[in-house]
Structure 1
Amino acid sequence: MERITATYYIETPFEVAKAAAVLAGEQSSGTFVAVPNETEELKQRFAARVESIEHLETVTEPAIPGANSKDGKYHRAIVKVSWSIENFGFNLPVMISTLQGNLYEITQFTGLKLMDIDLPESYGNHYSGAKFGIEGCRKLTNVYDRPLIGTIIKPSIGMSPEQTAEIVKTLAEAGIDFVKDDELMGSAANSSFENRLNAVMKVVNDCADKTGKKIMYAFNITGEVDEMQDRYEKIVNAGGTCAMISINSVGLSATKKICDNGALAIHAHRNGWGMMTRHPLLGIDFKAYQKIWRLAGVDQLHVNGIQNKFWETDDSVVNSIESLKTPFYQHKNILPVVSSGQWGGQAFETYRRTQTTDLLYMAGGGIMAHPMGAASGVTALQQAWKATVDGLTLEEARSQYVEFDKAAEKFGK
């Protein structure tokens, strides 16, 4: 039978091979004590296997709480463990329960992180992946040969539908490609989902009629599954092209259920990501994380940004973008969403390090707080990306473009 292999970065005060065996047993046919029905035949078919162990360094302080070391040493290693797909079939939630589940609670580990997942060919056939992906999102926005330029409605919450729609009008007239609700905005006391949808889509559709360009607005449909489905259908009926989901909040099954509809591009917001990965020896690495959500069918996924306002390093952001550029079965590649404290100045380093324009490049305050107004904020971001692709330096771009120069004056400090 086909097998799924998971790669873990572990730390343990015990012999690494014994700790790895505990991992394999706990997450398949075994438990803390031998039981009568765990026969050799059963283990042969359903038990997880430790495929390889690569010993790394030994340290004297544990990364996280766990069993105490008798000799004061904690051993780190890369461990690969495999499972037959007979254990869970094509059931993503049970697969995740198997690959992660109770592992983080096992006392033998003072550190454990899921780094990667190798999935069999049958998964690529069973799951169709993104319905739109990069090319579909480009077609919906009619943007080619450069990043999609986007922003987030700010203030995140508190504005009326009419105020939101007025901002969208300004942005649309300035030529923006993408606008989204903030993840904090679902259906607030002064801005119900339906009222905001109607106000915003009137502006979007009116601007499309006048200019021929229809911006993509990602309405936040995060909620209970039935509520999400209802909101999804309302967006479709209003002529919208995108829905946003806080994927860590609603979970894998709910996200896949919405993705399976296939009529809207799905903007996957990963808020809550930090609690899953910020510690270097706890949680899940983006390389593994993105595969799960690509199977679920999202079209756009956040990757943070260069010189961002959060904790994540530039190397980590670049690695995340590279992982989304990596082909995944025959599925469509999905659009990396660059965000978090961005303005046009980071475009130069982003392009230098990734050599791609297949991005949704998002700036909230970097557009909305531009000293010449939000419309100039859009222009400045467009200028920055044109300049970097044309081979200009940041200073050369400042001398050539007024709006970008003003942005650099404010945000470059």
Structure 2
Amino acid sequence: MAKGLKVATIGGGSSYTPELIEGFIKRYHEFPLSELWLVDIEEGKEKLEIVGNLAKRMVQKAGLPINVHLTLDRRAALKEADFVTTQFRVGLLEARAKDERIPLKYGVLGQETNGPGGLFKGLRTIPVILDICEEMEELCPEAWLINFTNPAGMVTEAVLRYSNIDKVVGLCNVPIGMEMGIAKLLNVEHSRIRIDFAGLNHMVYGLDVFVDGVSVKDKVMNLLTDPKHTGFVKNIPGYGWEPEFLQALDVLPCPYHMYYYKTKTMVDKDIENAEKEGTRAEVVQRLEKELFELYKDENLAIKPPQLEKRGGAYYSDAAVRLITSIYNDKGDIQPVNTMNRGAIASIPYESAVEVSCMITKDGPRPITVGALPVPVRGLVQQIKSFERIAAEAAVTGDYNTALLALTINPLTPSDKIAKAILDEMLEAHKEHLPKFFTVLN
């Protein structure tokens, strides 16, 4: 009898997990999953139990023969897995709150994946993902690693450079969120939209937009300048673009570009929000409290609509669509983080990029876009340099390399401020950065 399909989800106690379960249920006819292992750490045990029991109820309601296993034993979860999905947060939301709050004291953006916060999330995450890669080599060498853990681009870069795993794809819900948003703007079905994406994770641009294969980019660019347009992502408010700027840029920015093209506006707003309602992490902690109370309800057997407020909309669509396309060798086009392989001329061949790819059983095949347009090329290259040096700092635990990474990030105003932020954040995250403190001592 053929072995059924096994998926291991690391960070299984996440509030996002019902999204993933919904995706597997919807696409069961294409991806006949038999074992789903949700794995977490001791601190996440209670959440794992709550969300795991909801997952079991969802599967039962759907009447599907999927066995859901809950475990704190990562090795058991990984053993003979076909796909490994990662959605974990080292240091939990408390660490994210520090990433967001400390830089604001220096008038610098505090954000999960950009600037100092993005650096420190990478420094905490990369050593853990590389440990997982080592275990995968031993326990499931043929498995695909589908990484949703932020900063997804930097994490994918580190896996490509510092592990022996080449079957890795980084995934983000921003491109699919942009597709959905544009479908809504144009009042057409999502399936009719195609965007040619190119750039990096949270630094991706839409080079062209098509409806039924016909370019509608000019129309979309005009709609994006409408003051009523409020952005594509729930957790990043849209403040509207200057029409002349957008026309001159001539490509679609993603919501995270607000942090680079409207830095002062975003920092001021974040400082105001942090004082009024707390940082985004503190808001999410309150949201999660509500969500887990909902998840506890034994009568609940669906993904609750309140999960959309969490900011991970379309995660299940993106994640399970990708897994299904690899498994079925579909050859459809999806934007993912993968090795560049010459697709974007201005980025090194071996680096991770976020680009539209044809998805096959052998993984993503990037669609060649050539050189990025001049107005966006330099910023993308600068962020790629930041990601590479940040990944090196995470692997070596070298203070000077971390300082270099933070200083060259365009959101950091000077080397002096970078050093002050770095010192305070290293101390704040000491528990989760053993490499730095082993080297220092």
Bigger-Rg structure (1/2): 1
Same fold (TM > 0.5): no
Q: Which has the higher contact order (CA 8 A, sep 6+)?
A: 2
Q: Which is helix-richer, 1 or 2?
A: 2
Instruction: Please report the TM-score for the alignment, with normalisation by the length of structure 2.
Output: 0.22
What TM-score, normalized by structure 1, do the two folds share? 0.23
